[in-house]
Structure 1
Amino acid sequence: MRVLHVTDCFHGGVAAAVNQYARLTPEHDHLLLFNNARGSDAPVERRPGVFLADLELPSAPGAAVQAVRDMVRRHRPDVVHAHSSFAGAYVRIAAALDRLLPGSHARPVLYTPHSFAFERADIPAWKRSLFRGMEKVLFPLTSVGVPCADRESELMVGLGSRFGRDVPVIVVPNVLLDDHPAVPDSWAPTEPPTVGVVSRVTPQRDPAFFVETAKLIREARPDVRFTWIGDGDGKDPTLTDLLAKADIEVTGWLSGEELRRRISELSLVIHTARWDGFPMAVLEVRRIGVPLLVRDIPALQECPATSRFGTPKEAAEKALTILSEGHDPAHWDGLDRSHTPDRQRDRLTEAYRLAVGLPKEQVTV
């Protein structure tokens, strides 16, 4: 098969997922149409040899839709796999036009939101309703929904049906490949103990929540240090200022090796996201072996209940217990088993099979 991947946020977890999908199914030809229009930094580099072709997606919506149509006409992919909400809109509008206009040939569309825009807690309710409405309108143009986590699957199923029948939805879980550079169980905490967040400094990651949690931990353990591994996205510098005023170190962007070294030296990682798809950072922290606490949001219900917190007070209490005992009391085996490369590959293969209407054994290279 020939698979065209389209995304307008080729960075961070989305870029990692797209690269992994291609690497895990080398029996197919993979093409890439991409940009990072939703971020302030350049898209990440593509791994040599993974994509048969990679071209830049225009940032203007109309031009992006036309670029998808041109790519489909020129390269004739068997399926088009859209990653992120805006790319999902471009691809499905392009497919609708190709169905309607003479001389065009629409291709099946797979859609992975990597966190729905209508889940955002930093925008007004009317805008969330608008985004949800757009997803409902576009969902019938989806051949197969490919969410990256259980919560995203529930939201996708709730969007409705297509022409009186349900759109197939298959969870393709986020994973780290076996050759990921994070060394398994390489946790080596330094003294004094340091509690950290690994993320961009954005409203989604809620720096104010971490500031309040740090304040409560300091009241009981003045020796504990705090760090935010990452940096802002260039849109709101007041968020990094908030951390600095609370005496929380913001490392800035680090190279891969330095990033993993700094993570391994933490005594505890706290994931403070207000909403999410399923973050790669959680999987990377798990591989390194650092104790981990996550916010009790729907996207992270797969994480053990003992690892989840709802308020800064609860986060601080659980953090103090881990800092005192020196180990992670949560049992993560269930999550680890459900986020493996083999499972991702099997689910992805099943999704591509469904999209073209062939049983698994009949899908050929």
Structure 2
Amino acid sequence: MRVLQITDGLEVGGVERVVVNLASSLTRNVARSGVLAHPGGPLWRELPKEVLRYEASPRTSLLGKIQYTLTLRKIIKNDRWNVLHCHQRGVALLAVLASVGTDAKVVEHVHNMFRGESRMKRLVSFRGTRLIACGSAMASMLVKDYGRKPSSVTTVLNAVNASEAGPVGVPPSATGARPRILGIGRLTEQKDPLRFLETIRCINREEHFVDAEWVGDGELRTSLEDRLQMQPIRGFSLSGASDQVGVKLRESDVLLLTSRWEGLPLVLLEALSAGRGVVAPDIGSCRDAVISGGNGILYPPDATPQEIAAILVAAVLEQSFVSWGDNSKARSSEIGEFARFRDEVIAVYNQVRS
């Protein structure tokens, strides 16, 4: 079996990490493993030499999309790829077109939630031969909102390796340190770092009650830095991108997500593996991993910074972080490690080729 992973790019992010981990792992399980993505992302260098690499051309215009499709078709024919595993619906649709008349099958991985789209958008979306939903919410969306047959959808929960999280210790505040709240993600509208920032402002308005850090970079960085310069927040740092997510999590008490929409964020699973609780909006498939009141709290998607701040202050005062961490580690064990994820994905490949 020859499996080509297709994605937009290999910048630092959860989907990109899934692509790299899967392509790398598959070198030991299939005849050939490859990646097609736009050039320049830092995760390219993490691919082992056994993974075949193809740099994609821009597809921002109609002409670009046509050129992309023709190039992909040539790649499929020349190197005889028979499974195209696509990680964005834009590239998946082009892969479906490129594979016409070949024996290549398109497996489309749905990593996110989509709502309120036009009838035409729904009609052309998610047309892969088989669809992999990264959580129960995505699976339900594909069937109910997009009319895809349940038999074409397989739910495969994301997973991480426990070894990448490192040794699990107690949350820092349990040893007398000031509680530390961590945010991780791109500085984009989706991740809503402004809500994170304003939550910390609410908590520390009267006193330096917690430390907080946002790890990640993106187009909102300059505006956030300008805001912080005009209205500083004590105890808060904007540290930029990092490849030490496990270390950052172990140095913190809790992961706070403030996203407007999500699928099943990889960083959430990394927090569980590191033995840390999670406070997150009740969106996407977050509830596949977070049991509210057990290993964290799921709050209403439209919660204000003041409301989120009240949740975190209560957790500090009630000393919830230790029990949340213990329950997170147990939930991580139930979900399983990356090998489980890889094997379930390979099973989908075998189904689509049978």
TM-score, normalization: structure 2?
0.82
Secondary structure at the counterpart of residue 197 of structure 1: strand
Secondary structure at the counterpart of residue 308 of structure 1: strand
Matching residue of 1:173: 157
Task: Tell me which amino acid in the other structure corresponds to 1:189.
Answer: P
Matching residue of 2:195: 209
- 1:315 positional shift: 2.2
- 1:228 positional shift: 1.2
Matching residue of 2:166: 183
How many angstroms apart in 1 are the aligned matches of 2:205 and 2:25?
Answer: 48
- 1:30 positional shift: 0.9
Residue 240 and residue 88 in structure 1: after superposition, are their counterparts in 2 closer, same or farther (change >3 A)?
Answer: farther
Aligned length, in residue pairs: 328
Is the Cα contact below 8 Å between 1:172 and 1:348 reproduced in 2? yes
Matching residue of 2:62: none
Map Cα deviations across residues 91-122 of structure 1 (whole Å, 9 max, x no partner).
12323xx24xxxxx252110013215x35xxx
Aligned counterpart in structure 2 of residue 320 of structure 1, from 309, 313, 316: 313
Residue 220 and residue 285 in structure 1: after superposition, are their counterparts in 2 closer, same or farther (change >3 A)?
Answer: farther
Alignment of 1:1-365 (within 5 A): 1-11=1-11, 12-25=13-26, 26-28=28-30, 29-35=32-38, 42-51=42-51, 53-60=52-59, 61-95=65-99, 98-99=100-101, 105-116=102-113, 118-119=114-115, 129-130=117-118, 133-139=120-126, 141-158=127-144, 159-161=146-148, 168-180=152-164, 182-186=165-169, 189=172, 191-219=177-205, 222-231=208-217, 233-234=218-219, 237-243=222-228, 245-247=231-233, 248-254=236-242, 256-257=243-244, 259-302=245-288, 303-306=290-293, 307-310=297-300, 311=303, 312-324=305-317, 325=319, 327-330=321-324, 331-332=327-328, 333-334=330-331, 336-357=333-354
Secondary structure at the counterpart of residue 285 of structure 2: helix
Residue 338 and residue 290 in structure 1: after superposition, are their counterparts in 2 closer, same or farther (change >3 A)?
Answer: closer
- 1:197 positional shift: 0.8
Map Cα deviations across residues 327-347 of structure 1 (whole Å, 9 max, x no partner).
244443345412432431332
- 1:277 positional shift: 1.8
- 1:263 positional shift: 3.0
How many angstroms apart in 1 are the aligned matches of 2:350 and 2:191?
Answer: 36
Is the Cα contact below 8 Å between 1:19 and 1:50 reproduced in 2? no
Residue 321 and residue 236 in structure 1: after superposition, are their counterparts in 2 closer, same or farther (change >3 A)?
Answer: closer
How many angstroms apart in 2 are the aligned matches of 1:55 and 1:349?
Answer: 22
Q: Percent identity?
A: 22
Secondary structure at the counterpart of residue 112 of structure 2: coil
Secondary structure at the counterpart of residue 273 of structure 1: coil
How many angstroms apart in 1 are the aligned matches of 2:88 and 2:73?
Answer: 18
| Consecutive unaligned residues in structure 2, runs of 5 or more | 60-64
Task: Tell me which amino acid in the other structure corresponds to 2:227.
Answer: L
Secondary structure at the counterpart of residue 196 of structure 1: strand
How many angstroms apart in 2 are the aligned matches of 1:178 and 1:157?
Answer: 32
Residue 50 and residue 313 in structure 1: after superposition, are their counterparts in 2 closer, same or farther (change >3 A)?
Answer: farther
Is the Cα contact below 8 Å between 1:228 and 1:251 reproduced in 2? yes
Task: Give the root-mean-square deviation of aligned CA atoms.
Answer: 2.6
Greater Cα offset, 10-19 or 237-246? 237-246
- 1:326 positional shift: 5.6
- 1:268 positional shift: 2.4
Residue 215 and residue 234 in structure 1: after superposition, are their counterparts in 2 closer, same or farther (change >3 A)?
Answer: closer
How many angstroms apart in 2 are the aligned matches of 1:50 and 1:172?
Answer: 25
How many angstroms apart in 2 are the aligned matches of 1:81 and 1:210?
Answer: 34
Is the Cα contact below 8 Å between 1:267 and 1:290 reproduced in 2? yes
Secondary structure at the counterpart of residue 174 of structure 1: coil
Is the Cα contact below 8 Å between 1:296 and 1:309 reproduced in 2? yes
- 1:54 positional shift: 0.8
Residue 187 and residue 299 in structure 1: after superposition, are their counterparts in 2 closer, same or farther (change >3 A)?
Answer: same
Map Cα deviations across residues 17-58 of structure 1 (whole Å, 9 max, x no partner).
122323444220212111269xxx55542321451x111011
Task: Tell me which amino acid in the other structure corresponds to 2:79.
Answer: H
Greater Cα offset, 53-62 or 313-322? 313-322
Secondary structure at the counterpart of residue 251 of structure 1: strand
TM-score, normalization: structure 1?
0.80
- 1:221 positional shift: 5.2
Matching residue of 1:122: none
Secondary structure at the counterpart of residue 86 of structure 2: strand
Is the Cα contact below 8 Å between 1:176 and 1:283 reproduced in 2? yes
Residue 149 and residue 339 in structure 1: after superposition, are their counterparts in 2 closer, same or farther (change >3 A)?
Answer: farther
- 1:185 positional shift: 0.9
Map Cα deviations across residues 303-338 of structure 1 (whole Å, 9 max, x no partner).
112221122344222211332316244443345412
Residue 261 and residue 21 in structure 1: after superposition, are their counterparts in 2 closer, same or farther (change >3 A)?
Answer: closer
Task: Tell me which amino acid in the other structure corresponds to 1:169.
Answer: V
Residue 42 and residue 19 in structure 1: after superposition, are their counterparts in 2 closer, same or farther (change >3 A)?
Answer: closer
